[in-house]
Structures are given as structure tokens and as C-alpha cells.
């Protein structure tokens, strides 16, 4: 039986058109895996790039942050403080981009906890495309409240 992580999705502070999480596939003390399909009609594709749209790196970073940092933070904080609303602000990002992501493409983000102490969460994130090829990777950090 598949475990439900709907409580994590319900606490995300994002909504359409800036929500980049479709599903949490797995959550545990050392990481989170989740997925998102980039909508082919998203506004940012109309200008990035003309006649050859690709997902901007800043949007890929945001997707990694929402799944890999925020969802992990909600999972970790909820364990300690049941039913409290969790807030997070990203404090740093260092990303390497390896492959483009096209409109309509589904990606999977895998996050691995680096540390969580004094309300600061830091993790390694990797994004893979549908062919299981590495799209981008990096280190993200944020402050929890």
C-alpha cells in the first residue's frame, strides 16, 4: 500500500501557477523524493526561448527547492511539532544545470539531507528527466520557522 503524504502538500505555501510539486513519492528522516510535470502552456515558455521553449533554470531550481527543501522541512518539522504550520525561506542555492527540460516533461527530484540544526536545513538535490538522466543538481539551504 502506497503511503500518503498529502499532509505535506497541504502545508505548501504555494498555489498555481507557482506550485511545482505534483506528488511526494517518498519522505523519510534523510530525504524526500517527488515529481512534477511542467505544464506545456506555462506562461514562461512563451519567451524562453522564441520558437524553442525550455524551462528556465530559475524554475528548475524552484522545483528542486519546493520538493527537496520545503517538503523535507515540512516532514521534519511536523514530526517534532504536530499540526503546526511550517514556514521556510530559502537562504542559498548552488545549482549545476546539465540538460534542458521541455514543456510537458515530467521530472523527479531526489533530496538528501545534509544537516538540520538551529532551524537551518541544508540538502543535496538532484533532478532527473523521464529517461532517468540527470538534469541538474546542487545544494539548497533554508531557514525553518
Q: How many CB atoms lie within 10 A of CB 71?
A: 26
Distance CA(61)–CA(42), nearest Å, equals 16
| Residue 119 to residues 78, 143, 145, Cα–Cα distance (Å) | 13, 6, 7
Q: How far is CA 120 from the centre of its chain?
A: 17
Find the catalytic residue in 16, 28, 48, 124. 48
- Phi/psi zone of residue 104: left (φ > 0), alpha (ψ -120 to 50 degrees), beta? left
Catalytic site includes residue 48? yes
Distance CA(20)–CA(36), nearest Å, equals 6
Q: Quick one: which H or E segment has residue 74?
A: helix 72-80
List, by residue number, the catalytic residues.
48
Amino acid at each position: 500500500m502506497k503511503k500518503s503524504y498529502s499532509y505535506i502538500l497541504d502545508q505548501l505555501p504555494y498555489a498555481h501557477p507557482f506550485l511545482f510539486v505534483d506528488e511526494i513519492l517518498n519522505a523519510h528522516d534523510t530525504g524526500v523524493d517527488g515529481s512534477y510535470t511542467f505544464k506545456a502552456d506555462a506562461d514562461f515558455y512563451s519567451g524562453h526561448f522564441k520558437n524553442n521553449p525550455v524551462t528556465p533554470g530559475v524554475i528548475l531550481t524552484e522545483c528542486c527547492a519546493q520538493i527537496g527543501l520545503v517538503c523535507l522541512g515540512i516532514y521534519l518539522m511536523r514530526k517534532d511539532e504536530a499540526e503546526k504550520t511550517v514556514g521556510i525561506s530559502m537562504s542559498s542555492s548552488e545549482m549545476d544545470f546539465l540538460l534542458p527540460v521541455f514543456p510537458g516533461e515530467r521530472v523527479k527530484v531526489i533530496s538528501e539531507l545534509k544537516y538540520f540544526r538551529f532551524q537551518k536545513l541544508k540538502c543535496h538535490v538532484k533532478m532527473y528527466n523521464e529517461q532517468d538522466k540527470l538534469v541538474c543538481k546542487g545544494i539548497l539551504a533554508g531557514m525553518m520557522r
